[in-house]
Structure formats: structure tokens, C-alpha cells
Structure 1
Amino acid sequence: MNFTFLNDTYGESVVLAMGGGVVGCLFGFFAQRSRFCLRAAVIEFWHRQFGEKLSVWLLTFATAVIAIQSLIVVGALDVSSARQLATRGSLSGALIGGLLFGAGMVMTRGCASRLLVLSATGNLRALLSGLIFAVTAQSSLSGALSPWRERLSAMWTVDAGPSRDVLALLGWTHTTGLWIGVLWLLAALYFTTRTTQRTWMWLGGIGTGLSVALAWWWSFQVAHASFEVVPLQGITFSGPSADWLMRVIAPNPPGLNFDFGLLPGVFLGAFVSAWWGRELTLEGFKDGYSMRRYIGGAVLMGFGAMLAGGCAVGAGVTGGAIFALTAWLALAGMWMGAGLMDRWLDAPPRSAPMLVQP
């Protein structure tokens, strides 16, 4: 594909938006088919029920790592200028934000990407939660919650460059990163032996991971073929959600970029997948408690994602696959926060003590 021709003909912003739409469609389709969800994987892990949901997440993550590191090794991708590596980061923000995001995704029963995918299938709970997530993310970025985000982020920071790169910190090469991805894939293979429904688990998990790699590759190719400064972008849902909110309500909305096409693409891909699988159905809240739970979780996710520098996909997979230190910390925080919140909210009650007969 000739990106120089595309840039000259349509302009970089349009080419990025087109790429976002294509990548989004692929991500939405495969994520809906495979039921890709970090929250579900974490629940299986903490409950020691290593099954399909954990296998799908591991397949996605392993595929993304292998594909991205392979592209870097062969010289088809350079992520050194990516935001997750090239700017000053916050270790405190990554860890605290990850904990909050993990707790929130248990409350809403889905991470940010899962909420968007479920919205496309007719889940009104996910739609409302997604809207609140977007409002909170925008407030955390430049609104009433931004001072809190800035204070927490400033507690423990890390310099840009090698200090944010796990591979560089350990003295490893991208070839080593590739082999780490292979190890993750072997772990995914092991857990797939515990499941029976494997076709879409495999296709969906691998397809979702490849779409993450495709996002990095597309934005790099546009930037490489341009005389202008074009930032590298991967798949994430916190920033794009806030941007789309401003496009709807602000007098001077953000312009065209990769994120412009991403969210509509994910929605369309998930809708097509659900329609094809005959899974379109309207779902709402059952009671007031459920509604409060989802709203509270969406607020925690919106603030946590902006504090951590990304959502479960943006930090957990997109940033984790390029071995950004803050992304791995955020991902660890998400697993911990989700496990603790699940234990608090959804753990089955302990059996009542047996009565001793007189």
C-alpha cells in the first residue's frame, strides 16, 4: 500500500481516520465474536476457573505482542516516538488508575471496549455506562476532575525514553520481546485445552490481537510517509471517548484523526457480528441498585483510565505489547483492583455456621 500516494491524495488526517475505521471494524467484529473482555478473564483467574475468557484474553495479548515485536524486528515499525514511551510518565497514576479502572470494570461488568461492543448489540446498560465513562474521562482530562488527576500523577513520575521501556530497562532486545510473546501464546494454548468451544475463541482472540498491531502499523506508515509530524496512535478507548463527546457538544470539536474512525468502526463491526450471529437484543437495568452500580463503576473507569494513561485495551494490550513500563503497571493494577472488587461485591456469601443440636 502506497501511503505517500494516500497522504498526498486525501491528506494525513483522512488516511488516519480511514485506518481507524478499518481497524475499529475488525476489532469490534472479532471482539464480539470471541467475547473478548479483560474483566471476564480476571474473574476466571481469581476464581481459579481457567477457561475460555482467560484463554481469549491471553490469545489476544500474545498475538499483539508477537505481531508488534515481529514488525519492529523486521524494521516495519518503530514505536520509540509513541506517547507511552516518548513522554514523561506517571508510575503512581498507572498503579492507582489501574486499581480504580479494575474496580470499575467489575461494577459495570465490562471494560471500556466491552461496553462499546455490548452497546452495538442493544445493551442499554452498557450504552449508559459508556456515556458516563466518556463524560468522566473528559472531566478528568480537562474538567473538574483534572486537578485530582494531576496531583495523583505527580506523586511518582518517570522520565521519557529508556526509563519507560521495560525491554531497555532489562537490557533486552525486541527479539527477546518476541519470545516473551511466544511464551504468552504457549500459556494461552495450555488454557485452551480446558475449553470446548475453540473455533471463535481462536479466530476472535487472534483477530483482536492482530487489529491492535494493525493500528500501530497503520499510524506508523502514515507518519513515515508524511512530511508533517504525525503522532503514532494505537487502539485505546478513553481518549477517543472523550474526543467524541466533544465532537457532539463542543463548538470547536477535535479534527479528523485515527480516533475519529475508531469508535464508529468498533460499533459497526460489533453490530455486524451480533447481527450475523443473531445476537441483537435490547437489554436494560433490572432495578435501581444495578443502575447505581453501573454508574459508579463507569465513573471509576473514566477517571482511572485517564489517570493510568489508557483503558484495559489502551494500556493493557496496546501499551503492554510495546513493553511500556506504565502500561504494565496499569495492567497489574487492573487485575488487582478487579479481583478485590469482585471479592467485595460478587463473592458468594459464606455458609452460615452449623447449629449444634442440644
Structure 2
Amino acid sequence: MTEATNPSAWVIWGGFVLAFVFGAIANKSNFCTMGAISDVVNMSHWGRMRMWFLAMAVAIVGTTLLHTQGLIDLTKTIYTRPNVPWLSMLVGGGLFGVGMTIAGGCVNKNLVRVGAGSLRSVVVLVFVAISAYMTLKGLFGQWRASFLDPVALDLSAWGLAGQTLPQLVTKLTGMSGHAGAWLTAAVVSIGLLLFVLKDKRFRANNLQMVSGVVLGLLVVAAWYLTGHVGHGENPDTMEIVYFATNTRTLESFSFVAPTAFGLELLMLWTDKSLLLTFGIASAMGVVLGSMAYALSAGQFRWEGFASVEDLRTQLFGAVLMGFGGVTALGCTVGQGLSGVSTLAMGSFLVLGSITAGAVATMQYQNR
């Protein structure tokens, strides 16, 4: 198989290109989930929150279209499985929300900051990666697997093949799977769009409007890349597989676990069992896309820690983000955009717990 026809190469390089655009847009538009929540809590300003909701709505519609047209199979994602580890999602999401608040931004925001010259964010991401890896395979992982993950809800016991809202609607109403998917997607996305577009100031903000749409489309494109372009027969084993993804199934953007896998790859580069993947390439793409925009706009600035106290706080937040992101199966992008685009109930649960953790931390800081 030549490099040009190798599905792994298409997935890796395609993920890099998509994430490059994601990083550039996130930098230019100041896209930041923690910042959006902070704007609402501290200033009652909903501009960045509306941009995030707009990206969600676009991602939901686009992902539903791909699934109902048979271009991808969302039932294979890690988000839609019938087993719902609700305690892990609540605890992991809440701790991630606390961590991103005291660290001044989520993992995606820190990737963007690295591209803009933040050495502080380099250190934060290293500790996120270490904590995430410990939660995947190390000491934190033993705690997660022993105490949190076993507390789960098995929806298959109630006749549900997965945990998505469309599957629940289909079960309750008896309508077809495609009809249930479009009904649910329409209700959620139209509700989001009505909230987003009712604000005149936001409608007049072309940067945030366009950025929200494009970010949502990039999530959809990532699903298509890993779930369609990267789905095929492995010439070595003759099995149908998803190429170049860490989860061995289709993926869209998520940045906590990929930082851990990226650090592992760098440390064990000569280990031929470790390969570059979509997740690692997408994390690199966000950094370089942000850097390209920062350099072109004259905004690249070297930045370090303000004080030892700042260092201590940032590192504590990084550890919480690494543990929380893996435990909750995703971050503000991994669950808040990619997971939500599948309409998985667990993704909405994680999104709520991340928001609650962030809001509680902000209110505590304010007091």
C-alpha cells in the first residue's frame, strides 16, 4: 500500500489540517469554553457562549446528516455505548471544570496559547499529559477503574442499544431510527439556534458567527475523516477497522488523552508499536494553526509564569484536567462539541458537570 493510498496517512494528515484551521480560528475568535463561562458568570456577557452553542448546533446537524446517510456509524463511538458510567462522568466533568478554571483555560485553550508563545501553557500541558496517562494506565487509573467506572447504568437492560437521545426517542415513540435522529437533532439544534440568534449584538458580530459555524463544521469533517475515509479493510489482517485512532473507532476532536499519547510517543519514539494517530496529529495541528495566526497578526509573545503561586495553581489545575478529562471521556471539546454532536446523553451530563464545576470555582474565587 503506497503512502498516497494509505488510509492512516489520510486520517493523520487530514486531522492535522482540520485542527490547523481549528487552532487558527480559535485564536482569532478567542474561542474558549472557560472564558465563555467566565464572561457569563462575571459580566453577564453571552457572546462567546453563543459562539460555542452555535458550533454545537452546526456539529449536531452535520453529524446527524452523516449518520443518517450511512457515511459514518455513530453507534461505534465511545460516546454512544449503552453503558453509562455516570459517576465517572459527574466526578470527572466536575474536576475538569474546576481544573480548567484555576488553570485559566481548558486543554484546547492551552494548545492555542502554546501556539501564541505561552511557555506557561507548555508546562501545563505536560502535567495534563502526565495526569491523563496516570488516569489511563497508572495509579489514577486504578482508582478510576476500581471506584468510579463500576458505578454505571446499563441501558441495554431497558432495550436500548445505546445512550443517545435519538435511540431513546425511537424506543419511546416507535418511530424509525432516522426519523428519531432527525426529530431529536431538530429540537436540540433549533433550540440552540433560537437562543444564539435572538441576540442582535451577536448577529452583528461576523467573526463570532462565522467562527461558530466553521468550528462546528470542522467537528463534522473530523467524524467523516475517521469514520468514512479511515474506515476499511486492514490489508494485513483482512479485518474492517478504523485506521490511526487511539480508540480504534471513529473519533472527532478531543485533546486530553491525545496529549498523553503524544507525550508517550515522544518519550518512547523508538518503540515501533507506538504510532502517530489522528488525536496526536490534531493536537499538533491546533498548536501550529494558532501559531500561524499569531505570527501573521503580530500577536506572538513569549509568556511565562507570573509567580511561584501562579505556577502552583496552574499545575494543580493541570492535574485535575488530566484526571477529569480521561475519567469523563472527554473535555470541553471532546464532550462539549464532539460528544454532544452524537446526541449522547452522557455527553450532556459531562457538559453540565464541567459547567457546574467551573461556575462553582468562579463563584468561590469571587468570594
Give yes or no for TM over 0.5.
yes
Distance, in Å, in 1 between the alignment partners of 2:71 and 2:195 is 27
Q: Which residue of 1 aligns with 2:250?
A: 232
Amino acid at match of 1:16: V
Amino acid at match of 2:251: Q
Q: What displacement does 1:52 show?
A: 2.1
Q: Which residue of 2 aligns with 1:216?
A: 223
Q: What displacement does 1:272 show?
A: 1.1
Amino acid at match of 2:250: L
Distance, in Å, in 2 between the alignment partners of 1:128 and 1:158 is 39
Alignment of 1:194-205 (within 5 A): 194-195=201-202, 198-205=205-212
Q: What displacement does 1:47 show?
A: 3.6
Question: Contact 2:185–2:343 (CA<8 Å) still a contact in 1?
Answer: no
Q: Deviations over 1:301-320 (max 9, x none)?
A: 10000110111111111011
Distance, in Å, in 2 between the alignment partners of 1:7 and 1:99 is 45
Q: What displacement does 1:77 show?
A: 3.0
Do residues 173 (structure 1) and 180 (structure 2) align?
Answer: yes
3-state DSSP of counterpart to 1:233: coil
Question: Contact 2:113–2:121 (CA<8 Å) still a contact in 1?
Answer: yes
Q: Which residue of 1 aligns with 2:198?
A: 190
Alignment of 1:133-152 (within 5 A): 133-150=128-145, 151-152=147-148
Question: Contact 2:14–2:225 (CA<8 Å) still a contact in 1?
Answer: yes
Q: What displacement does 1:86 show?
A: 3.5
Question: Contact 1:31–1:205 (CA<8 Å) still a contact in 2?
Answer: no
Q: 1:323 aligns with which of 328, 332, 343?
A: 343
Q: Which residue of 2 aligns with 1:58?
A: 53
Distance, in Å, in 2 between the alignment partners of 1:186 and 1:218 is 30
Distance, in Å, in 1 between the alignment partners of 2:41 and 2:166 is 28
Question: Contact 1:79–1:322 (CA<8 Å) still a contact in 2?
Answer: yes
Q: What displacement does 1:219 show?
A: 0.9
Moved more, 153-162 or 10-19: 153-162
Question: Contact 2:203–2:209 (CA<8 Å) still a contact in 1?
Answer: no
3-state DSSP of counterpart to 1:86: coil
Q: Which residue of 1 aligns with 2:245?
A: none
Distance, in Å, in 2 between the alignment partners of 1:208 and 1:257 is 21
Q: Percent identity?
A: 26
Do residues 332 (structure 1) and 328 (structure 2) align?
Answer: no
3-state DSSP of counterpart to 2:22: helix
Do residues 242 (structure 1) and 250 (structure 2) align?
Answer: no
Question: Contact 2:82–2:154 (CA<8 Å) still a contact in 1?
Answer: no
Amino acid at match of 1:229: V
Question: Contact 2:167–2:181 (CA<8 Å) still a contact in 1?
Answer: no
Distance, in Å, in 1 between the alignment partners of 2:295 and 2:141 is 39
Cα distance change of structure 1 residues 125 and 8 upon mapping to structure 2, 3 Å threshold: closer
Listed as ranges, the gaps of 5+ residues in structure 1 are: 1-5, 350-358
Q: Which residue of 2 aligns with 1:153?
A: 149
Count of equivalent residues: 341
Q: What displacement does 1:79 show?
A: 1.1
Distance, in Å, in 2 between the alignment partners of 1:332 and 1:258 is 27
Moved more, 69-78 or 274-283: 69-78
Cα distance change of structure 1 residues 40 and 243 upon mapping to structure 2, 3 Å threshold: same
Q: Which residue of 1 aligns with 2:161?
A: 162
Distance, in Å, in 1 between the alignment partners of 2:36 and 2:310 is 22
Alignment of 1:1-358 (within 5 A): 9-47=4-42, 49-86=44-81, 88-150=83-145, 151-159=147-155, 162-171=161-170, 173-179=180-186, 180-191=188-199, 193-195=200-202, 198-226=205-233, 228-230=240-242, 231-250=249-268, 252=271, 254-345=274-365, 347=366, 349=367
Distance, in Å, in 1 between the alignment partners of 2:88 and 2:208 is 33
3-state DSSP of counterpart to 1:229: strand
3-state DSSP of counterpart to 1:310: coil
Q: Deviations over 1:4-52 (max 9, x none)?
A: xx98843222221112112111211111111111111212233461332
Cα distance change of structure 1 residues 301 and 117 upon mapping to structure 2, 3 Å threshold: same
Distance, in Å, in 2 between the alignment partners of 1:304 and 1:93 is 9
Cα distance change of structure 1 residues 95 and 170 upon mapping to structure 2, 3 Å threshold: farther
Moved more, 13-22 or 294-303: 13-22
3-state DSSP of counterpart to 1:10: coil
